[in-house]
Amino acid sequence: MANQQSTSGNPSVDYEYRRKKNAQEMKHHVVSFALMIFLTLVAFVAVYADMSKWFIVPFILLLAVVQVILQLYYFMHMSHKGHETPQMFLFSGCLVAFLTILTFSTIIWW
């Protein structure tokens, strides 16, 4: 229902449809924001707990990746129709960046 459009021609029906769609969109934003705040607090607790550096660094990087995905998907509206081309370029750029970092890390470490 998130990507459907009402084309009834009746302004009151269209208004109700937009209201429901906007309410659902706002609910997704609030839940996503709360989840990102929770993930940030988990990262702070992990550092405060004085765990091993070998655990904390990858754990925080994983939490950061999850937050970036949530921000792209909900706050940058990548879940909506019509954003397939920007998604393709964004994810292609991420793949190239990951492969470049992996390549240079491999060359330096071995």
Split at pLDDT 50, 70, 90, the class of 73 is confident
Q: What angle do CA 68, 90, 25 make, to 5 degrees?
A: 55
* Span 80-108, average pLDDT: 88
Residues 64-85: what's their mean pLDDT? 81
pLDDT at 9: 66
Section 22-28 average pLDDT: 86
Q: What is the mean pLDDT of residues 33-57?
A: 91
Which segment of 45-54, 77-86, 93-102 scores lowest on mean pLDDT? 77-86
Distances in whole angstroms, Cα of residue 53 to Cα of each of 16, 41, 43, 83 = 52, 18, 13, 39
pLDDT of residue 14: 80
Q: What is 7-54 written as a DSSP string? A: --S-HHHHHHHHHHHHHHHHHHHHHHHHHHHHHHHHHHHHHHTT--HH
Task: Please tell me the total number of residues recorded for the chain in this structure.
Answer: 110
Alpha-carbon gap, residue 72 to 87, rounded angstroms: 9
- Under the banding of pLDDT at 50, 70 and 90, the label for residue 34 is very high
